[in-house]
Structure 1
C-alpha cells in the first residue's frame, strides 16, 4: 500500500525503495489529481538528479495521467524553477521529486497548487495520505492524460536576472559549490549574463553525491568551499543544497554567513528598491534582521518557522520578501516561493555595487554572536520547555513568548527553544552581544533540558 510516515509537515519524504517506491509514487500522483480536482487539467512535474528520481517520476506521471490529467514534464530542474513554471504558466498544480538536502538514499515530493502555493501537512498532504489509506481513490476515467516535455532553464534564468539591475556591476570572482546538485544545471545560463568570474565546484549532476552530502547547513560540508574561497582570493563563495532552493554564503575571509544574515542582506537590497516594503522573518532569525529592516524604513513582521506559515502571511501582508535562518528565501515577485538563486543574485548585486568586500558590507549589519542551532534528544520536549519557562519567569528580568516554541528575551541576550517538526529533538538558538554571554545562557538552558 503506502507507508504513512512519509507524509511530513512540509512535504513527502522517505527512503527509496524501503518506504517510498514506484507504487507509492503512482498513488501520490492519483491522490494529487483527486485532492485538487485536476482531472482534465495539467500538472507540472520536475525532478532533481537523485538516482531514484527517474523511476519515481515515471511512476508519478503514470498516476497523474491515469487519473485524466495532462503532464508538463520539466525534466531535471531546481525546485524553485518548478514553482516558477506553475506560477508563470498559470497551471493548477505542480510536483517536484526531490529530497532536498537529505542523503542519497532519500527521495520525496514537494507539491503545490495554483499560484505555486505549496501543499503542507495540514493543507493537502495529510488529506492525500488519508485518501490513499482509505482505499477510496476515484476510479480512473476512460481517458488518459498526455505528456508534454519542455525545458524552462533559460526562461527561469531570465526571471531570476530580472530581480537585479545589471548595469554598472563591478567584476566579481565567486566560488560556487553546487554539491553535484541542480545548481550545476540552473546556474550557468544565469552567470552567462553577468560580469562575474565563476569558479565551479561539483557542477556535474550526480545523485550519488561523491564529494559531500548536499546539505550546506552542516559546517563540515562547507569546509572545502571556505578553503577554496581563500585560496582563489575570491570575493565570496556560495553553496547550494541538492534541489538548489537554498543557499549559504562564505565571505572573502572564508567565514560562513548564516542564513538569517544573508536574509538581512537581501532585505537591504529590496528596501533600497522598494522603500517601506514589508519583510517577514521567523522567530529564530537574528535581531540583526528586523533591526536592519526598521533602520532602512521597512516593516518587519515576526512569524513561526516554516514555509506553510510564512507564505500565507506574506500574501496577507503583501510582503516583498521573507527570510528564514535555514536558508529559505521567499520573494513576492517569485510567486511567494523560495529561491536560492535569486537570494544569491541580490547579495551579489550589493557586493558588486560597492568597493569593499562582503565582510565590510556585513559588519554594520551584524553586531551579534550566535550559538548556532544546538540539538538535544529529550524524552518529553514539552515538559522540558515548560521547565525552562518557569525558571526564567520566576527569576524575572526577561520577556517570554510562545509564538514558536519558547523565546526568552532579556534585551542583552535572547534564545529560542523549540521542538523539531521532523525529529524527536529540541532545538536551541542563543544570541547575544558577546561570546561569553552566549556560552553562559547556552550552558544554563542546556543544563535544564538535559538534566
Structure 2
C-alpha cells in the first residue's frame, strides 16, 4: 500500500486513501499502542471530516476511547497529545501536499512520533490482513475545544515588549485557524496577514513555503506595509520560512543558527540539534555560543529522538522545521515565529534590520537542495566514492565528504542522500566561495544526471 510512508500516512483521496482504509488504520493504530484513549484532530481539507470520522470509528471499534479536538494544526494536535491524558493520537492532514491528498501524522504518548521504523509498517501489515474483530465494548467519544488552552500555551513563549510589524502568509492552511486567537492576545505584534481563511483546496498558491514563488505574496506585503520581517507557513503549520525586510529569503539553516545564538545567550551551554544538510555556520554558531552542536540525520523522528536522548533545548532542519524542548519536543512554525519576534525585540536588536542580524551568517555559499531521479542509487553512490577520494567522509545519512581546511579558499563539502519520502537522490553542497560551489556542483550534476524540479 503506497500510502504508508517513512514518517506519515499520505495519499490521493479516494484512490489511495478512503474512509474504509482510514477506519482500518484507526483500529490498527489503537491496537498498536494498546491505547485506552487517543486524540484525533484534523485539518481543513474538504475530505478531512469524513476521513477523521472513519478513523474515530475504527479507534472506537477497537475498544479505545477518543478525544476529538476537531479542527487543529499539527502543532495544536501535538499540544493536545502532550497535555491531555491519553496514549497518543493523530492529526488528519497531508501538510503541504495539494488539496486532493490527505493523510495522517501519528504519535504515541507524549507526542513521540510514530514512523515506519516504529509502527507505520505494523499498521500497514494489519490493514493488509483480515479485519480485526470488534471489541466487546466500543470506546467512548468526547469532543473538546482546546484552542483557548493551546493559545495560552503559545502566548506563554512570547516576551516581546515593543511593537513589531510582521507580514504573515498562512497559505489558506491551519496557521490561519490558530493564529487569530494568538495574535489577539499579543497586541505588540502588529500582524499584516494574508490567506488566513483555512481552505483545503489552497486556491491561491501551494502551501509549501520552501518554494520561492510561494513567498512572493509575503514579499509584496512587506514592501507595502514596511514590516520588519515576513513569514510563510505550510499547510499544517508545523513548518515556516522567513523573509527579511528587503524581501530576501532567510534559509532555514541560517534561522537555526540565529535562534540558537539567541537561545544560548539566554540559557547558557545547552545542546542544540541540527540536520546534516545545514550550513557549517550552524555548527560554528552553536559552538561559539557555548552550546553543544549535535549533527543528526534528516527527518523529524530522528531529530526528536536525539533531542530527548541528549537533552537538547532546540533543533532546526533545512526544511523549515524548528523544534522546542519546552513544546513537548515537537516542531512548531508559530513558535519559530514568536522566537524570532522575541529576538528582534531584544534591546540590542531593536534598531537593527533583520537582514543585518542575518548578514554575518551568510559567510558560505550553498547550492540549496538539488534533486535527482536516479534509478541505480547504489551505482550513483559508487561513482561518487570513486570520484571523490581523500576527503573526510561519513555515512550518517547518505554520504558526506568534506575537502580542505576551513581556512582554505577552496574548502567545500557535500552530502548526497536518498530521500525518505520520494524516489530521489538529494544533493546539498556548500563552499567557501561561490566559484568553488558552482564548479563542484556542476561536477556532481555531471555524475548524477539532470536535476528535477
Q: Where on the TM-score scale, by shorter chain, does this alignment land: which range?
A: over 0.9
Query: What does residue 154 of structure 1 align with?
Result: 148
What is the deviation of 1:333? 1.1
What SS does the corresponding residue of 1:322 show, helix, strand or coil? strand
Q: Which of 353, 378, 383 is the aligned partner of 2:374?
A: 378
The match for 1:34 is 31
Rounded Cα–Cα distance in structure 2 between residues aligned with 1:369 and 1:231? 30
Which structure 1 residue ranges, 4+ long, deviate > 3 Å from structure 2? none
Task: Determine the C-alpha separation between the residues in 2 that align with 1:170 and 1:416.
Answer: 42
Shift of the alpha carbon at 1:42? 1.1
- Which one of the candidate residues 167, 172, 177 is aligned to 1:180? 172
- State how far apart, in whole Å, the 2-side matches of 1:193 and 1:367 are: 38
Q: Which residue of 2 aligns with 1:293?
A: 286
- The alpha-carbon deviation at position 157 of structure 1 amounts to 1.9
CA distances 1:298-346 after superposition (whole Å, capped 9, x unpaired)? 0001111111211111111011111110011111111111111111111
**Gapped regions of structure 2 (runs ≥ 5):** none
Query: TM-score when scaled to structure 2?
Result: 0.95
| Distance in structure 1 (CA, Å) of the matches to 2:258 and 2:24 | 42
Q: Could you say what secondary structure the match of 2:117 adopts?
A: coil
Post-superposition Cα deviations, 1:384-440, rounded to whole Å, max 9, x if no partner, equal 1221122111xx3x2121111111212421111111112221111111233222111
Which position in structure 2 is the counterpart of 1:336?
329
Matching residue of 2:163: 171
Are 1:319 and 2:315 matched, yes or no?
A: no
Native 8 Å contact 1:120 1:308 kept in 2:
yes
What is the alpha-carbon distance in structure 2 between the residues aligned to residue 51 and residue 80 of structure 1? 20
What is the deviation of 1:93? 1.2
Question: Which TM-score applies when normalising by structure 1?
Answer: 0.95
Secondary structure in 2 matching 1:211: coil
Aligned pair partner of 1:79 in 43, 54, 74: 74
Deviates more, 1:89-98 or 1:22-31: 89-98
1:443 alignment partner in structure 2: 442
| 1:143 and 2:137 aligned | yes
- Per the alignment, residue 12 of structure 1 pairs with 9
Question: For residues 233-272 of structure 1, what are the structure 2 equivalents within 5 Å?
Answer: 233-272=226-265
Moved more, 19-28 or 190-199: 190-199
Q: Map 1:36-75; keep pairs closer than 5 Å.
A: 36-38=33-35, 41-75=36-70
Task: Assess if the C-alpha contact under 8 Å between 2:66 and 2:139 holds in 1.
Answer: yes
Corresponding position of 1:431 = 430
Residue 309 of structure 1 corresponds to 302
Contact 1:174 1:199 in 2 (8 A): yes
Shift of 1:50: 0.7
Task: Give how far 1:26 is off.
Answer: 0.2
For 2:127, which of 123, 132, 136 is the aligned residue?
A: 132
SS in 1 for 2:70: strand
1:119 equivalent in alignment to 2:114? yes
Distance 2:146 2:69 in 1: 7
Provide the rounded CA distance (Å) in 2 between the counterparts of 1:189 and 1:382: 50
Partner SS state of residue 101, structure 1: coil
2:92 is equivalent to residue 97 of structure 1: yes
Q: Does the Cα contact within 8 Å between 1:389 and 1:400 map onto a contact in 2?
A: no
Q: How many residues align?
A: 440
What is the aligned partner in structure 2 of residue 212 from structure 1?
Answer: 205
CA separation in 2, counterparts of 1:347 and 1:361? 11
| Residues 300 and 90 (structure 1), Cα distance of their counterparts in 2 relative to 1, 3 Å cut | farther
State the alpha-carbon separation in 2 of the partners of residues 382 and 321 from structure 1: 34
1:199 to partner: Cα distance: 0.7
Query: Deviation digits for residues 353-395 of structure 1, max 9, x if unmatched?
Result: 21111111111233122111111111212211221122111xx
User: What is the Cα deviation at residue 33 of structure 1?
Assistant: 0.9
Q: Describe the superposition over 1:222-279 as per-residue Cα deviations: whole angstroms up to 9, x where unpaired.
A: 1222222123211000000000010100000001111111112221232122100100
Of the candidates 268, 273, 295, which is equivalent to residue 275 of structure 1? 268
**2:195 pairs with 1:189:** no
Q: Is the 8 A contact 2:21 2:127 kept in 1?
A: no
Q: Which has the larger displacement, 156-165 or 338-347?
A: 156-165
